[in-house]
A and B are shown apart, each in its own frame.
Chain A
Amino acid sequence: DIDDVGHKYYLELELEDVLDKDRTVNCTAEVLYHLGSKTSAPDVQVTVQGELRSTEEADQEFYNWIRSLEKELVAENIPDSHGNIPPELEPIHLLAWVASGFLIWQNSTENTKFHLAQIKHVKQVKRSDEDLQFDYVLLLHEMVSQVI
């Protein structure tokens, strides 16, 4: 409890590699939730103890696949109602997960608990350069209010 500033949390975490379940990395983090009704994102500092594995190969594979498509990628309901994700769309799902992490961070307070519920819709946006761009509609579930 820091007077006039907010609440600070000191965390020790273990991160699990989504692409390699047996691989874990320890981290420490400091999270400061600001006082007051003004909604600003909490301050976060993370230190990773060890190395995060390179995803370059998987990134390249995904990049090449998207570039090889004749039409811009469009998909919806990932996962579907039964929890299924077509294997080739798994990277789209992972990208959404990362993006939702940013959104969740920006909207978190000490009284929220967000998770990505589902990708409602994703659409690739055509670009003139070599970058990839995707427009997502994401459904986030907030545990306390139960709102999607």
Chain B
Amino acid sequence: DQVLHIVPETFQQVQHLQLLCSTLMLDLWKPLLPEDIRAGEDLHIRVPAPLVQEVKDSLYQHMISYRVLIPDVQKLVDQSMPRERSSHRQVSGYVYTEYHPMEEIYQWMTQIQKNNSELVTQHFLGKTFENRTMYYLRISQPSNKPKKIIWMDCGIHAREWISPAFCQWFVKEILQNYKTDPKISRFLQNLDLYVLPVLNIDGYVYSWEKDRLWRKSRSPYENGTCYGTDLNRNFNSSWGSVGISFNCSSDIFCGSGPESEPETKAVAQFIRSKKSDILCYLTMHSYGQLILTPYGSTTKPPSNSEELMQVAKEAAAALTGKYGTSYKVGSTALILYNNSGSSRDWVHTIGIPLSYTFELRDMGAYGFVLPASQIQPTCEETM
């Protein structure tokens, strides 16, 4: 298979390319949909080996110039495979035991929906500051009874790479095992799972391209002299009161007001609209090995704190049971630090009963730069 790079020059070329893609059902890598092909913009198409000559002939006939971006897709796939391939069962060749840049996560979402269309749909949530599209995946078994929702988001802080890695792993595990694992299949009979693999997409991209230890979003403040809001201080829960900074160069800058950031707004809007159906809200972070319950802004316990603690304690025990990794459980204000404007707190204040922040591995030895070799055990124990 080859991947071709084309920059269509005229509208006629665009039309021809769109026709070619849909007729031959070619795999579009960029953009994702034929209707998004534009003149003057990059087009990357993967062409299956048997069709390569036909496609090239057609391009030649229509005087569309192209460049071979990847001459042998299989070779590249083989090269990027980890040495032991045994237990890493993959969905369409995707390597879950490595960290992936945002481009690949977008492609992964499309593939997941394509390969599991009976269960998974991809949905638009909103746009980031730098105009990137936020998508979530809905895993739902068709049924005539209404189902409650469990929401999980990853990657609210850019440098916490293990978090999006977990969301991807989670989706893969559910999809690979729902037919055979009785726990998962019972789960899906009664609940829908909504997964947002990367919430802070701009920050995540920035941590890949410019600064591995970036945390915040990438919206500019003070005339572009400083960038980024800590999205987990930007929600409307005692916003701006404690554990924050009003200085935009701070890593805990809470923004110009509650939900001032498009990413925050997109999530908040959605959760508000579905709040009566959401049973449990999970937000994944690293590091610290903690399961945190509301609140961060006060030590006053939430109304259902007993239930919250009991569920969290059982989760922590199950997690420890896998590889012995120890997690602490408690409210943020008591066991970590004070902070206001967190998504977990806000979600609880609008009435969602179970709301947790997970701080995944490790305890600081590697911190944010957790080796990829720890992706599998971290994800397995967290499942």
Q: Do A and B bind each other?
A: yes
Near B by CB (< 8 A), chain A positions 73-121 give 77, 79-84, 115-118
Identity of the chain A residue whose Cβ is nearest the Cβ of B364 in the assembled complex: A115
Given A79-B371, A82-B372, A83-B371, residue A148 in contact with residue B213 (CB < 8 A): yes
The answer, yes or no, to whether B367 is at the interface (CB within 8 Å) is: yes
The answer, yes or no, to whether A8 is at the interface (CB within 8 Å) is: no
Given A117-B213, A139-B213, A148-B213, residue A83 in contact with residue B252 (CB < 8 A): no
Chain A residues within an 8 Å CB radius of B98: 82
How does the 8 Å CB contact mask read for A112-148 relative to B, with 1 for contact and 0 for none?
Answer: 0001111000000000000000000001010111111
Measured in the bound complex, the distance between the Cα atoms of B374 and A77 in whole Å is: 19
How does the 8 Å CB contact mask read for B161-189 relative to A, with 1 for contact and 0 for none?
Answer: 00000000000000000000000000000
Chain A residues within an 8 Å CB radius of B372: 82-84
8 Å CB contact of B374 from A83, A145, A148: A83
Structural contact, A146 and B99, CB atoms closer than 8 A: no
CB distance from B162 to the nearest CB of A (A): 9
Chain A residues within an 8 Å CB radius of B213: 117-118, 139, 141, 148
Structural contact, B99 and A115, CB atoms closer than 8 A: no
- Interface residues of A, CB < 8 Å — how many? 19
What secondary structure prevails in chain A residues at the interface with B? loop
Chain B residues within an 8 Å CB radius of A144: 243, 337
Identity of the chain A residue whose Cβ is nearest the Cβ of B245 in the assembled complex: A145
Chain A residues within an 8 Å CB radius of B369: 79-83, 117-118
Given A81-B212, A83-B366, residue A145 in contact with residue B250 (CB < 8 A): yes
Identity of the chain B residue whose Cβ is nearest the Cβ of A82 in the assembled complex: B372
Chain B residues within an 8 Å CB radius of A84: 371-372
Chain B residues within an 8 Å CB radius of A83: 366, 369-374
How does the 8 Å CB contact mask read for B333-349 relative to A, with 1 for contact and 0 for none?
Answer: 00011000000000000
Chain A residues within an 8 Å CB radius of B337: 143-144
Measured in the bound complex, the distance between the Cα atoms of B98 and A80 in whole Å is: 13
Of A82, A84, A147, chain B has the most CB atoms within 10 Å of the CB of A82
Identity of the chain A residue whose Cβ is nearest the Cβ of B207 in the assembled complex: A81
The answer, yes or no, to whether B46 is at the interface (CB within 8 Å) is: no
Identity of the chain B residue whose Cβ is nearest the Cβ of A114 in the assembled complex: B364
8 Å CB contact of B230 from A115, A141, A146, A148: A146
Structural contact, A147 and B251, CB atoms closer than 8 A: yes
Near B by CB (< 8 A), chain A positions 38-92 give 77, 79-84
Chain B residues within an 8 Å CB radius of A148: 213, 251
The answer, yes or no, to whether B281 is at the interface (CB within 8 Å) is: no
The answer, yes or no, to whether B215 is at the interface (CB within 8 Å) is: yes
Chain A residues within an 8 Å CB radius of B374: 83
Measured in the bound complex, the distance between the Cα atoms of B243 and A147 in whole Å is: 13
Identity of the chain A residue whose Cβ is nearest the Cβ of B363 in the assembled complex: A115
Measured in the bound complex, the distance between the Cα atoms of B372 and A81 in whole Å is: 10
CB distance from A6 to the nearest CB of B (A): 21
CB distance from A138 to the nearest CB of B (A): 12
Given A117-B213, A148-B213, residue A82 in contact with residue B252 (CB < 8 A): no
Measured in the bound complex, the distance between the Cα atoms of B374 and A145 in whole Å is: 26
Residue contacts A-B, CB under 8 angstroms, 24 given = A79-B371, A80-B369, A82-B98, A82-B99, A82-B371, A83-B370, A83-B371, A83-B372, A83-B373, A83-B374, A84-B372, A115-B364, A116-B364, A116-B367, A139-B213, A141-B213, A141-B368, A144-B243, A145-B250, A146-B230, A146-B251, A147-B250, A148-B213, A148-B251
List 7 other contacts, CB 8 Å, given A118-B367, A143-B288, A144-B337. Answer: A82-B98, A116-B364, A117-B213, A118-B212, A118-B213, A118-B369, A146-B215
